[in-house]
Amino acid sequence: MKVAFVGLGSMGAPQARLIARGGYELAVCDAAPAAGDAFRGIARVARSPADAAQGAQIACVCVRDDRQVEEVVLGAAGLVESLAPGALVLIHSTIEIETLHRLQVPLKARGINLVDAPVSRTRPTDDAAFVFTMMGGEPDDVDRARAVVGTFSTDVDHMGPLGAGMAAKIANN
């Protein structure tokens, strides 16, 4: 399965490395081109989110805030430009629930599904599963995401409909 991962910061880079170790065909992208250097040889380093999403069935987003999430997903070179109908977008960033619902409308119009999958660090390691992932979304979409999310998660829980994972993460914070 092809997976795109956007956002190679302190949480995203270890998540992406574990996805690659899980045997997935991975393409990565970050706003800071140097962040991709550590992925040469283990993933395709893409020029933009749209480039990373070429042929991906699942696209993961782990960036700083709502504005960046919206740009990565819906921007001119965003994931939506390349993802095919049936693809799944996972939002690992901690953002407002309203932002998820705003994103869902244009994605759904293109046949792309959305799951909120924010993470909370559980172990002080980047070499093994190190986060708890709280997911919100349709049960079939959450089930489809589990294998990828399981590569970097100590635990994965489906909290309910879209936004429920984010609500649990916000309460956890």
| Annotation says 169 is catalytic | yes
Indicate which residue of 17, 92, 158, 169 is catalytic.
Answer: 169
Secondary element (H or E) of residue 21: helix 12-21
Q: What does the H/E/C string look like for 125-169?
A: CCCCCCEEEEEECCHHHHHHHHHHHHCCEEEEEEEECCCHHHHHH
Contact of 41 with 21, CB cutoff 8 Å: no
Helix (H, G, I), strand (E, B) or coil at 27: strand
Q: Which residues are catalytic?
A: 169
